[in-house]
């Protein structure tokens, strides 16, 4: 029998969602250990001493950190429908665009939502360029992975669900009508049965973001100066 | 017959040389196209429009960008000795430490070289903590990959070959045999490896290039140091 699987995570984190959805898509049973990030547990600090962040996957006595590394691990360690494409070139493309999301998109998205004036305009331009590239990548496909959800859909899941909630809370639209493929994809992704089971509710997320508006604005300002 | 393989790269780029190391270890013949980064070619801009950086691997009509994505592509697309471990957990571990090197080590290293005074002391402390973690990963092993050179050795190649050159240019000594005996031993093994050494730029030429760029390097940290 396979060793038990546990996932250390926190409510509302899009990175934790990546790990959870990978487990659910592969049909892997797991125990979710809820972490209070304001008061980090011994378990988290022991298993992720370098970054002290969630998600952390515990598989028997193995520990895997970093959301996308966890997704690849889950794909390789367990049976079930493949998350990464079988063709090496498609694999490379998926990894490239996942890196693009994390390294190029995250900051402009965040600052477009929380900044104002000329600063916001600059990041909005960058955001729109990034979204246009993703729109082109999706093209007419149901998912970035093709007919079924794959690694890149999972990597971009923040765009499918969290961005929409943030748009409501801030009143700033990022993924407008000029991105019909991305909007359709976001609906498809968030309607998937396996995805729905590990997606934090829009209401809960909206309440959290609204209650923490000042803190999130401060985070954006800090990000601006990094 | 497999489509031709070309690599857009530069002489001194450690990232570019990662791709070359992978191609050579897999025994894949390739044509190296030297890129002048101060005057980027149409070929580069066409195949890496987003980042406009080297390396870019061209395999027939396919273009692959990002050095570690290229290394994994080479591993998967061509026959030859595996670069990544077989076991999923070992693969996850290799990917984790490669990312650690690129995200945490390289930044703290760069800032340790080109800052001064108390600010520098802080970055040196951070970099040494990062090195200590890598030291634990290589302890007792010939290579990060085990008995043979693998993905993580390639990812760490900057530490083996480029780091000592930067240390000399900046007149800073960070990686000593006394403090990091296993890492230093690995660096010697890696840079003298029969296949790897063919992928490395000559040290003296690297030193000349980096010495000439010292002022530019120093200017890069100004925007990186938090206010």
- Dump the DSSP string for A169-214: HH---SS-TT-HHHHHHHHHHHHSHHHHTTSPPHHHHHHHHHHTHH
Query: Which chain B residues in 142-161 lie under 8 Å from chain A, judged by CB atoms?
Result: none
Substitution target from A71, A96, A126 for chain B, most B beta carbons within 10 A: A96
Residues of chain B positioned with their CB less than 8 A from the CB of A133: 50
**Burial (CB count <10 Å: 0-12, 13-18, 19+), residue A208:** middle
Residue A196's nearest CA partner among A56, A32, A21, A57 is A21
Q: Chain B, 63-82: which have a CB under 8 Å from a chain A CB?
A: 64-66, 69-70, 72-73, 76-77
DSSP A114-178: H--HHHHHHHHHHHHHHHHHHHHHHTT-SBTTBSS--HHHHHTHHHHTHHHHHHHHH---SS-TT
CA–CA gap between residue B101 and residue B131 (Å, rounded): 9
Contact assignment for A72 to B95 by CB distance below 8 Å: yes
Q: Give ipTM to 2 decimals.
A: 0.96
Q: Note the pLDDT of residue A225.
A: 82
Query: How would you write the pLDDT of chain A (226 residues) with one tens digit per residue?
Result: 689 999 999 999 999 999 999 999 999 999 999 999 999 999 999 999 999 999 999 999 999 999 999 999 999 999 999 999 999 999 999 999 999 999 999 999 999 999 999 999 999 999 999 999 999 999 999 999 999 999 999 999 999 999 999 999 999 999 999 999 999 999 999 999 999 999 999 999 999 999 999 999 999 999 988 7
Closest Cβ–Cβ partner in A73, A95, A99 for B92: A73
d(C-alpha A150, C-alpha A89), whole Å: 15
Distance in angstroms (rounded) separating the CA atoms of residues B201 and A142: 46
Contact between A70 and B76 using a beta-carbon 8 Å cutoff: no
Across the interface, whether the CB atoms of B96 and A69 are under 8 A apart is answered: yes
Q: What's the number of CA atoms in the CB half-sphere (13 Å) around residue B194? A: 3
For B85, which residue in chain A has the nearest alpha carbon?
A76
Single pTM value for the model: 0.96
Q: How many CB pairs under 8 A join A and B?
A: 60
Q: B92, B106, B136, B221: best mutation site toward chain A, by most A Cβ within 10 Å? A: B92
């Amino acid at each position: 029998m396979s060793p038990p699987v546990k996932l250390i995570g926190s409510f509302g984190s899009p990175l934790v969602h990546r790990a959870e959805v990978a487990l659910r898509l592969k049909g892997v049973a797991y125990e979710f250990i809820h972490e209070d990030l304001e008061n980090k547990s011994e378990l988290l600090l022991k298993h992720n001493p370098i970054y002290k962040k969630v998600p952390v996957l515990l598989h028997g006595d193995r520990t895997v950190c970093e959301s996308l590394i966890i997704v690849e691990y889950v794909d390789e360690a367990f049976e079930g429908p493949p998350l990464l494409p079988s063709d090496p070139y498609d694999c490379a493309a998926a990894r490239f665009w996942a890196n693009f999301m994390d390294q190029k998109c995250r900051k402009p998205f965040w600052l477009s939502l929380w900044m104002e004036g000329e600063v916001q305009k600059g990041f909005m331009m960058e955001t729109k360029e990034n979204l246009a590239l993703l729109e082109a990548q999706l093209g007419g496909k149901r998912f970035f992975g093709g007919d079924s959800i794959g690694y890149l859909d999972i990597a971009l899941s923040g765009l499918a669900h969290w961005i929409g909630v943030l748009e409501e809370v801030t009143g700033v639209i990022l993924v407008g009508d000029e991105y019909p493929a991305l909007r359709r994809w976001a609906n498809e992704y968030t309607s998937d049965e396996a995805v729905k089971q590990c997606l934090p509710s829009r209401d809960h997320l909206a309440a959290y973001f609204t209650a923490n508006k000042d803190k999130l604005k401060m985070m954006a300002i800090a990000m601006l100066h990094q | 017959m497999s489509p031709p393989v070309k690599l857009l790269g530069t002489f001194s780029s450690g990232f570019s040389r990662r791709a070359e190391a992978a191609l050579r270890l897999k025994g894949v013949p390739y044509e190296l196209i030297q890129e002048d980064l101060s005057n980027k070619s149409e070929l580069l801009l066409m195949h890496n429009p987003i980042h406009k950086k080297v390396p870019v691997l061209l395999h027939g009509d396919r273009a692959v960008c990002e050095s570690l994505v290229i290394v994994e592509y080479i591993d998967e697309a061509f026959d030859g000795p595996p670069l990544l471990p077989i076991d999923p957990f070992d693969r996850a571990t290799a990917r984790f430490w490669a990312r650690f090197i690129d995200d945490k080590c390289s930044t703290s290293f760069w800032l340790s070289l080109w800052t001064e005074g108390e600010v520098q002391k802080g970055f040196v402390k951070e970099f040494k903590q990062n090195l200590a973690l890598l030291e634990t990963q290589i302890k007792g092993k010939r290579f990060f990959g085990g008995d043979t050179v693998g993905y993580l050795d390639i990812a760490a190649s900057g530490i083996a070959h480029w780091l000592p050159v930067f240390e000399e240019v900046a007149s800073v000594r960070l990686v000593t045999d006394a403090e990091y005996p296993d890492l230093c031993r690995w660096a010697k093994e890696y840079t003298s490896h029969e296949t790897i050494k063919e992928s490395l730029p000559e040290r003296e030429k690297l030193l000349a290039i980096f010495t000439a760029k010292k002022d530019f390097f120093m200017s890069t940290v100004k925007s990186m140091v938090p206010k």
